[in-house]
Amino acid sequence: MSADPPQSNAMTARSNSFSQQSQASDDSQTAAEFLRDQELLEADAREALPYSIESCTKILGPLRQNVFACLTCNPATTDLSEWKPAGICYACSVQCHGEHTLVEIFQKRNFTCDCGTKRIPATSPCTRRTNEETNTKGNVHSEEPDANNKYNQNFRNIFCGCECDYDPFQQKGTMFQCLGLGTHESGGCGEDWYHPGCLVGMGPKWFEKMAAKRKTSVNGTNGAALATISEGNEDQPDAPVNNPDVAVVDDEEEPPMPPGFPDEDDFEGFLCYKCVDANPWIKSYAGTSSFLPAVFLNPPNSNETKPEVKQEESTSKKRKAEDAEEEAVEPKRVKSDTEAEGSTEAKPDPTTENTDSAPKSTKTDDSQLGCKLPNLPTAPSGQFSLFFKEGFRDQLCRCSDCFRIINQHPQLLEEEEVYEPPISEEGGSEHGASTHGSGSLLERGESALRNVDRVRAIEGVMAYNHLKERLKPFFQQFAESGKAVGAEDIKAYFAKLRGDEQGIKEAGQAAADSKDGEGGGGGRQEQSGY
């Protein structure tokens, strides 16, 4: 009977050792598994970043291109007079600011990359352009930026009329980019992005509110605590509550379009209410050929909510503001923009008179007789966005007077060409990536080896074979014992190879600890017999 406890202890030790080895095996990777995982990661990276990242676009001048803002180099400040916005191209966003906090703004017209200019700190130079002083690539900074670049709130990661901070991991639904008929300075939006709910005056989270209100109506008998849910919906119109989409859409699904917003298949693009107000001549096209009827910012009964706007104005600019606050911003902006509209219409005399007053003109020249404006319906009153279909440009009047106005906005004359960097993959290998700077790490290593000097290549192969012979006994002891190779084992062994005294001591201590941990040599050596 006295022999039973030692036998039990031995079994427990072997069991624990087996468990530890199993866990180590689960955490370990073979070389083939590592290479396979590496190829998958690199394939995902090529899919996410398919374009070449070798060249900065600044040398190409102003382009309509994808632009990024770096919040690390140009953080937004509360004092906008001290804020220095900047935008960078696709290649610089990866190569020069890859470790920074970036905002993807997508396409901006007539934009020149700011990387390497005075708008970006000299501590973050451009690595993609050639330094004119040293005639070497990289370390370009403090150049003069393009004075014609235009910036809006997007460069502070602020989007839409609700002025929300955009978080791609939190935002739900689709945002739409305005075609843009003016910069922020001229009263337009500068190609801003909008929530559908904000374009119809319901706020960015209208669907969540409608769903909450619907749940309140269904479960309203459960107690007074549920009544607080409806507080955020007090400013919402009652009509959309009966929208049947609210009941069937899951929380993880994309929310439907709000009532009054056109179906996505019915339009190609749109002009936001800011740009329409800044260019009142285009209002008459609402509801005509290739244009949808006006999409009003305010519902008909929105006047009764206006007195509450000023009370919440101070909190409306807070990051991720509550829904009620975001909706309160809209009526406030409506009021201020309506007041500004009067001054806008009175200010640009040539622009406004040549268009809005054209139907009343008494001119008899050929250009005026051919003007389409007199035959257009009366422009709707109020603040609205204008959605257009494919081919809308052909429907715009191009008489001499109207053409002078349209010519100020080339995007209305013809579709803009968007610059895209060349694709980095050219299909030179089975993985479709043979160009410099692309392909897997293995392929790039093989390519570098092929281009190396023959003498150096031979020396490298000899060094590799020598290292292989030194590593063979190291790995063999782990193979025989069944123990998984750990990172510390490799570090200690290479320290020993280098002759590092401290490394040798650490390796010896690690070996001693390993022996002591085996509990008399029973546990790990016997695993092969299980």
In a domain, 272, yes or no: yes
Structure tokens at 325: 């606050």
pLDDT the model gives residue 196: 96
Residue 514 dihedral angles phi and psi, to the nearest 5° = -65, -40
Backbone angles phi, psi at 181, to 5 degrees: -125, 45
Q: Is residue 233 part of a domain?
A: no
For residue 339, pLDDT over 90 is answered with: no
Residues 147 and 177 in one domain: no
**Domains held by the chain: number:** 3
Q: Are 439 and 427 in contact (CB under 8 A)?
A: no
Q: Exposure pattern of 270-304 as b/e (b: 16+ CB <10 Å)?
A: bbbbbbbbbbbbbbbbbebebbbebbbbbbeebee
Tell me what pLDDT residue 467 has. Answer: 82
pLDDT per residue over 406-437, tens digit each? 999 999 999 999 999 998 764 444 444 434 44
pLDDT of residue 106: 96
Largest CA distance in the chain: 123
pLDDT at 15: 53
Residues 69 and 143 in one domain: yes
Of 436, 193, 231, 224, residue with least CA distance to 327: 231
Contact between residue 86 and residue 146 where contact means Cβ atoms under 8 Å apart: no
Cα–Cα distance between 326 and 331 in angstroms, integer?
Answer: 10
Confidence at residue 475, expressed as pLDDT on a 0 to 100 scale: 83
**Could you tell me if 506 and 402 lie in one domain?**
no
- Residue-range definition of the domain harbouring residue 96: 47-156
Whether 501 is covered by a domain: the verdict is yes
65 with 106, same domain: the answer is: yes
Q: By CB neighbour count within 10 A (0-12 exposed, 13-18 middle, 19+ buried), where does 346 fall? A: exposed
- Backbone torsions φ then ψ of 160, nearest 5 degrees: 70, 170
393, 262: one domain: yes
- Reported as a single tens digit per residue, the pLDDT across 64-103 is 999 999 999 999 888 888 899 999 999 999 999 999 999 9
CA nearest 98: which of 145, 48, 37, 153?
Answer: 48
Residues 278 and 406 both lie in one domain: yes
Within a domain: residue 195?
A: yes
Task: With cut-offs at 50, 70 and 90, classify the pLDDT of residue 29.
Answer: low
Q: pLDDT of 103-154, one tens digit each?
A: 999 999 999 999 999 999 999 999 999 999 999 999 999 999 999 999 999 9
Which segments within 123-213 are labelled E, that is strand? 130-131, 136-137, 158-159, 164-165, 176-177, 193-194
CA distances from 222 to 130, 227, 229, 232, 241 (A): 69, 10, 13, 19, 20
Both tokens of residue 99?
A: 């470790």
- Contact between 222 and 206 (Cβ < 8 Å): no
pLDDT of residue 169: 83
